[in-house]
Amino acid sequence: MPTVHIVDMREELIKGNRSVLSRSLHTEMEHALERGEQVMLFLNKRGYSSFMLCRACGNTILCPHCSVAMTLHAPGPGRKPVLVCHYCMYVRKVPEACPECASTLQGKMGTGTQQLEETVKAMFPERRILRMDQDTTAGRGSHARLLNAFRNKEADILVGTQMIAKGHDFPLVTVVGIISADMLIRASDFRAGERAFQLITQASGRAGRGERPGSVYIQTYQPEDEIINYSAASDYAGFFEKELEYRRRLGYPPFIAFGNLVLSNPDEALGQEQAQEVKDFLSTIVSSVPDGSIRIFGPGPALVYKLRDRYRFQINIKARNKSALADVYNRIQDRYSEAGFTMHTDIDPY
């Protein structure tokens, strides 16, 4: 197993390092590259920056069709950056001034793989760098081509999202940097801890797979976080017990069945009325179950409230088992299948 280091990025800021790479990771990369070894840098966010923020009024540029911040992309040398919605793929130019207050004090917030690639190129100008994310692997055969190029040592550093973390065996990779572990552990999903543990341990496992020893640098602003520490130690049993207790205490799968309904409508007010009507119907089902084995939460805005010009409302359902949850869904289907409601149902796979 590689040696794993947890890097406190708060200390990096205190000591004046505002780079996306910590000093220890940068130094270890230099040493590995001098020895003819390879480096992998994992950042689970594609694009150039996460979003554009006006520093004068705080406005963020949202997609006009989806209620999400548009991601900044730099298409290539000599081409101007554009803003892209990763949900509906709407593209627009980067405005010269804030659409809200006309200020030119606009900042690029967050770091994506594209910006990380440029930063690493500036730090290691003599090294060959490949980027592997959804943008660079869109073409047919590009995924295999990039992996083979790195395996054949046509590049020294591979920058990428989760697609570089899983299952690849590169004997010359001795250094792995996990650039922003905080993005993984703070996702808005009860499965976020599980996914973070998987990705961090999988990415860590890419280092030192050959005869040479490996080292991993997990960069975080929360070095005391239990998930990060379990991941750094590859403590599967410890994480499993802690996660089970968390799920048991808060009532999440596998201890109960969890599902949701997402209703959508191009008319916001009508969508809200339909969601409330479904909630009222679900309440009659709940009242008919004396043991309280079904619980309803919502309705409220879905995680992505507006998607492709449709407003989305979510209702969460907890039930004692999947059979009870499936029965609820069947009754909803019987009631609303001919009512003109656009509805998506989902049951957690546990």
**Binning pLDDT at 50, 70 and 90, where does residue 134 land?**
confident
**Binning pLDDT at 50, 70 and 90, where does residue 76 land?**
low
pLDDT of residue 55: 77
Structure token pair of residue 319: 């039930």
pLDDT of residue 33: 98
pLDDT of residue 350: 62
What's this model's pTM, rounded to 2 decimal places?
Answer: 0.83
Average pLDDT over residues 138-162: 94
pLDDT of residue 240: 97
Average pLDDT over residues 31-43: 97
> Above 80 in pLDDT, residue 47?
no
Q: Which residues fall within 8 angstroms of residue 122, CB to CB, at 6 or more apart?
A: none
> Above 80 in pLDDT, residue 292?
no
pLDDT of residue 75: 64
How does DSSP assign 74-133, residue by residue?
--STTS--EEE-TTT--EEEPPSS-TTT--S-EEEES--HHHHHHHHHHHSTTS-EEEES
Q: Which residues pair with 342 in a beta bridge?
A: 264
Higher pLDDT, 239 or 189: 239
d(CA 31, CA 123): 14
Average pLDDT over residues 145-171: 93
Average pLDDT over residues 294-298: 92
d(CA 312, CA 272): 9
pLDDT digits (tens, 9 = 90+) for 159-194: 999 999 887 889 999 999 999 898 888 766 788 899
pLDDT digits (tens, 9 = 90+) for 87-108: 788 999 999 999 989 998 887 7
pLDDT of residue 349: 67
Q: Which residues pair with 345 in a beta bridge?
A: 261
Q: Could you tell me the domains of the chain?
A: 3-49+110-245 (3.40.50.300), 257-347 (3.30.70.360)
> Helix (H) and strand (E) counts for the chain?
10, 15
Average per-residue pLDDT in the chain? 90
**Binning pLDDT at 50, 70 and 90, where does residue 291 land?**
confident
